[in-house]
Structure 1
Amino acid sequence: MRELYDSSPYQTDQRLPRKVRDSKGRVAAHDYEDVVQQLIKYAIGDFRSRLASYDAYPDRVTQVSWAKEAWKEACKYHETKMAFNSDIIQMITRRTSHLTSEVKAKVRPLVESIYGFESSARESVKSCNRQLAQQLKHKFGLCYRSLGDKKQKVPRSGLFQTKLTQKAANLVWYRNKKDEGIVFAKYFTPFAIPAMALCYTAAECCIDEWADGEHIDISFLGDEYKEVYAKHLANLNKFNLRTKDHGILDAIQKEINDVGRIHAKAEPIDVADDDCLSDDKIQNAIEEFQK
């Protein structure tokens, strides 16, 4: 298994990461010299962004592959050539469970405030909590902006247009200009479908915690929620495919990123004029077409 973490034969222009102190227990970033600490920090951000945007539950081989790619990106960003070792790769891949746990922790208070769960000893409140949890779980009710009203024959509305995804994204990826949604904008422009699926999966876990009327902690680390994530991801992809001509999900993804950037107080992403055709070239094409 160890060869999975090891780098390919070191290039002659790469140097080895140097530790400045002995590790006490598990190896940590601060055990290394400053330049390596910077590389580790950047690589972890890149790796977490891949998890959010590609797959929150990758297999071990994929985790290691992404960690190595993230290290290369870190070296490129800091304009240095540094080899990695197995300890560094494991340090990066440990962030897999860290991300899912963080998303759940940020989503939990949102679920309570947006959907209206309440802590109370009164049986009437507990009954309301149970009914609400059932409504939200039934046929992906949590993915709608409004649950509607069966008695009044008002249908659900606003599929995938919930407050939850935007608020969760702001808290996890767009807190400020140094957050991952800004620094690693290439993974979040537009906001990725797998990241939306992760937000809904975390929300479903938080809703499950209210299923009996009272709040009880439920672990988000097991395989059960990996399956829930797969269902939400499949749902989003199916919706995207069926509505592609209307651009519904495209617009939602773009809005989450745009609003997130505003929340982080970052500049909007514009295409630089240098990256576009010049006015002269366009005019030449018009004249050529008219001949």
Structure 2
Amino acid sequence: MSLNQAPAARRGRSSHPAPTAARPTRAADEITREVLSLAITFYRCFLSARDAFPDQATEMSFVKEAWDTACYNRNVDIELTPTLSKLMTNRGSHLRGELKTKIKPMVELMFGFKSGQNKKTIKANRDLTEKLKDDLTFTFKDIAARKGIYRNPLFQKAVNAMWFVNTRDEAVTQPQMFNPFPLPGFALVITVTEHLIDEWATGIRSDIPFTAHDYRDLYQTHINALRRFEEKTEKYGILDNILVRLHNIGRFHSGAQPITHHAPQPAITDATIAAAILEYQEDEETET
């Protein structure tokens, strides 16, 4: 090959870098995307397990912790830039909106709201809204008898649909944050459910934005109510049982194996070993 036929990179005349020159950048970008994806998962978990409507300082602490944890898991050290932070914080409203989307059809079906424009249907929906919102009636398992507070079947369905879809879902892969199901996450489910009931207040469902500005206080109200309920029923462990059940049934729904805390069983039992020793001794006696 003559000099004129040689690759431009060898002649030193081209302004275009050799193909290999771009590889480190592409590799770095790929690693950053991988870390970002993992960090977003951790960030969503923090929102679900700790505070779904964090203030700015708490939000940034979640972002930094999620990023640092993701970097540690991937054994890299990548700077958390404002752009990356923004990509993560945007997931807060996304998570809340996702939960609303999943629960919306459940509310209409399980509480019995009806679509329609006639006066009878509209009045029935308005009356139902008032009844459900009166003294947390919508949280009861048996709404008519007001029995089984915080055990409405809708809550388990919502938890399954949001956090336990399959074995790759967040609550399955991060059991340290979801076993038992976290109280703040449960409060978020209750808040979204009440918000969706609010959409039927006029008798005809109308979409109401589920914003932090409008629903942070309601969320905190449900947090406080759950903690008060937990405190007053501590002797009986009622809320603990509810949260454990939400996790266990959710995990079963995902198809994941149940979490056990038993020591792993040996591959060979003592009885098998004893039988082998006895068999050996008997063979020795026979041979002699």
Corresponding residue to 1:156 among 131, 146, 155: 146
Residues of 1 paired with 2:257 and 2:48: CA distance? 22
Query: How far apart in 2 are the matches of 1:136 and 1:44?
Result: 35
Give the structure 1 partner of residue 184 of structure 2: 194
Distance in 2 of aligned mates of 1:63 and 1:273: 38
SS of the residue corresponding to residue 244 of structure 1 reads coil
Q: Deviations over 1:117-138 (max 9, x none)?
A: 1101222121111111001111
Q: Please, which of 152, 163, 167 is the counterpart of residue 173 of structure 1? A: 163
Contact 1:142–1:200 (8 Å) recurs in 2? no
Map Cα deviations across residues 141-172 of structure 1 (whole Å, 9 max, x no partner). Answer: 11111222xxxxxx411100111211111111
Distance in 2, matches of 1:38 and 1:116, equals 44
Q: 1:206 aligns with which of 196, 207, 227?
A: 196
Identify the range of structure 1 (66-75 vs 81-90) with the bigger mean alpha-carbon deviation: 81-90
Secondary structure of the residue that 1:68 maps to in structure 2?
Answer: helix
CA distance in 1, matches of 2:59, 2:90: 9
**Within 5 Å, which residues of 2 pair with 1:30-45?**
33-45=29-41
Q: Which sections of structure 1, spanning at least 5 residues, go unmatched?
A: 1-17, 21-30, 149-154, 275-291
**Whole-angstrom distance in 2 between the partners of 1:267 and 1:250:** 21
Question: 1:19: how far off?
Answer: 6.5
- Equivalent residue for 2:130? 134
Is residue 45 of structure 2 the alignment partner of residue 49 of structure 1? yes
Q: Which amino acid aligns with 1:73?
A: T
Q: In structure 1, the residue corresponding to 2:134 is in which secondary structure?
A: helix
Please show how residues 1-291 of structure 1 align to structure 2 within 5 Å: 20=26, 33-148=29-144, 155-273=145-263
Shift of 1:269: 1.2
* Helix, strand or coil at the partner of 2:141: strand
**Structure 2 spans left out of the alignment, 5+ residues:** 1-23, 265-288
Partners of 1:128 and 1:247 lie apart in 2 by 37
Residues 146 and 158 in structure 1, CA contact (< 8 A), matched pair in contact too: yes
Q: In 2, Cα distance between the equivalents of 1:265 and 1:81?
A: 35
TM-score, normalised via structure 1 length: 0.79
More deviation in 243-252 or 85-94? 85-94
CA–CA separation in structure 2 for the residues paired with 1:93 and 1:184: 20
- Distance in 1, matches of 2:28 and 2:95, equals 23
Which amino acid is 2:215 matched to?
A: Y
Q: Distance in 2 between matches of 1:32 and 1:84?
A: 14
Preserved contact between residue 142 and residue 148 of structure 2 (Cα < 8 Å): yes
* Count of residue pairs brought into register by the alignment: 241
Percent of pairs identical after alignment? Answer: 33
Distance 1:164 1:38 in 2: 35
Kept after mapping to 1: 8 A contact 2:53/2:212: no
Please say which structure displays the higher CA radius of gyration. Answer: 2
1:110 alignment partner AA: M
Deviation at 1:82? Answer: 2.6
**How far apart, CA to CA, are the structure 1 residues paired with 2:251 and 2:74?**
24
Deviation at residue 90 of structure 1 after TM alignment? 1.6
What is the CA–CA distance in structure 2 between the aligned matches of 1:36 and 1:234, rounded to whole Å? 39
What TM-score, normalized by structure 2, do the two folds share? 0.80
The Cα RMSD (Å) is: 1.7
Deviation above 3 Å: which 4+ runs of structure 1?
Answer: none
Q: Quick one: distance in 1 between partners of 2:180 and 2:73?
A: 22
Aligned in 2, Cα 1:197/1:19: closer, same or farther, shift over 3 Å?
Answer: farther
In structure 2, distance between residues paired with 1:40 and 1:200: 30
